[in-house]
Amino acid sequence: MIVMKNSLSLYVTVRHGDRTPFVSETYPKHIYNNVSYGGYGPGELTDEGRRRMYQFGQQLKRMYKNSFRSNFTISNVKAVSTEYNRTKHSLQLVLNGLFDEDETYDLFSLPNELCPRYQQTYIEYQKSEEGKKLINKYSEKFSYISEHTGSEISCIEDLVPIYHSLKSDKEFGLELPTWSLSVQRYLKSAMGDLFESYVALPELNKLFGGMLLKEILNNIDAHIETPKNEKFYLYSCHDLHIAGLLGAMDIFRSHTPDYAACVVIELHKISTAYYVKGNGILASQGQKIETQLSVMDNKKLPAVTYLFDVISRLKKNFKKSLFLNGMPI
């Protein structure tokens, strides 16, 4: 059984590695529409993505090597992934890096659907004054981008395929069209604000990242009550999950979670008291950004206080329980 010196359990939520664009992530005037992007297939991990996720597993091992004893095995890990090749392959590579082995591991499934209540609440937010301000903030360049892409741009969501298409072109070393150079910063800002809109309201946070956070909190609570063999929880998911989790914790700031961006929540026991600590690695180059979790000030908060605060925030927005895939939020 795993023995950790100070930390009882770890909860790591990570976005998948570098991927190719989806078929939908293009535009009519895209000069690289016939490019195969290395023959990986749409939405699949690239070689760089595989390398990044394996190195991420090694990085986790370095970060927590002093917490593990030599008998740390896969039986001490609960590995959870959404049902996409890129997330499942990413998680396998993280585990390979963590254990220095080339094995295939059994994975648990993580739901990836947005509940209807969230979608309706978000539509209502878009119609609000705050939501309209978001559209108006970026509408000035809609016609310019529409002219050069051949796509109809009427809202900020219409910029998503343009952003990802250009991002993929750059990652594959393709020369970007001249017209796009003047809107690179604009598109990055728009995507960051779009993600911020997904978590703009307490109601949205409960229905978006609250589901994953509740599972983590339940596992933390269970470990406090009865320490378990599973002490390392790995969730392989998408940029939306990272944003949603940070939003549910009320610490999201405008940005687009990059490949291998992660949030780490640690449960510690010092003497007879339990504490929670958070870390974030949000940049693709592996830069550690602890200020992203500034609500915890990178200090250990008493676990009971933290659990009570977060659960209270999630519960106070609705009078009755909501369900997603049969599970109460």
Looking at the structure, do residues 102 and 124 belong to the same domain, yes or no? no
What would the two tokens of residue 25 be? 């992530």
Is the domain of 55 the same as that of 79?
yes
From 198, 227, 248, give the residue that closes a domain. 198
218 and 306 together in one domain? yes
User: What proportion of the chain, given as a percentage, has pLDDT over 90?
Assistant: 45
State the CB neighbour count (10 A cutoff) for residue 246: 28
For residue range 163-207, list pLDDT tens digits in order: 999 999 999 999 999 999 999 999 999 999 999 999 999 889 888
Q: Give, as one character, the DSSP assignment of residue 175.
A: P
108 and 94 co-located in one domain:
yes
Q: What is the per-residue pLDDT for 12?
A: 93
The four Cα atoms 234, 193, 120, 243 give a dihedral, to 10 degrees, of: 10
Task: Give the pTM.
Answer: 0.84
Answer whether residue 302 shows pLDDT above 70.
no
In a domain, 139, yes or no: yes
Range(s) of the domain holding residue 125: 116-198
Return the closest-CA partner of residue 239 out of 78, 10, 13. Answer: 13
- CB within 8 Å of 131: residues ≥ 6 apart: 125, 197, 200
| pLDDT, average across residues 212-238 | 85
**Spatial distance between the Cα atoms of 270 and 252, rounded to a whole number of angstroms:** 29
Task: Look at residues 175, 198, 221 and tell me which one is the last residue of a structural domain.
Answer: 198
Same domain for 59 and 158: no
**Quick check: is 37 in a domain?**
no
Q: Is residue 50 part of a domain?
A: yes
Tens of pLDDT, residues 79-98: 999 999 999 999 999 999 99
Q: Which of 129-143, 149-163, 294-308 has the lowest mean pLDDT?
A: 294-308
Cα separation of 7 and 103, whole Å? 27
Query: Are residues 282 and 217 part of one domain?
Result: yes
Rounding to the nearest 10 degrees, give the CA dihedral for residues 144, 149, 151, 155: -40
Residue 72's contacts (CB-CB under 8 Å, 6 or more residues apart) are: 2
2 within a domain of the structure (yes/no): no
What pLDDT sits at residue 281?
59
Does 29 have pLDDT greater than 90? yes
Q: pLDDT grade, residue 51 (50/70/90)?
A: very high
On whether both 109 and 156 belong to a single domain, the answer is no
User: Is residue 36 in some structural domain?
Assistant: no
* Percentages (nearest 5) of helix, strand, coil residues in the chain: 50, 15, 35
The two three-digit tokens of residue 83, written as one number: 């049902």
* Residue 35 counted as domain residue: no
pLDDT band at residue 282 under the 50/70/90 scheme? low
Judge whether 1 lies within some domain: no
Q: To 10 degrees, what angle do helices 184-198 and 116-127 make?
A: 120
Last residue of a domain, one of 132, 165, 198: 198
Count how many domains the chain has.
2
* Same-domain pairing of 100 and 148: no
Residues 23, 169 within the same domain? no
Q: 3-state DSSP call for residue 237?
A: strand
Q: Write down the pLDDT at residue 292.
A: 34
Q: Are residues 167 and 210 in the same domain?
A: no
Same-domain check for residues 193 and 275: no
Is residue 278, in this structure, part of any structural domain at all? yes
We report the CATH number of the domain holding residue 66 as 3.40.50.1240
* pLDDT tens figures, 98-116: 988 877 888 888 877 778 8
Residues 215 and 260 grouped into a single domain = yes
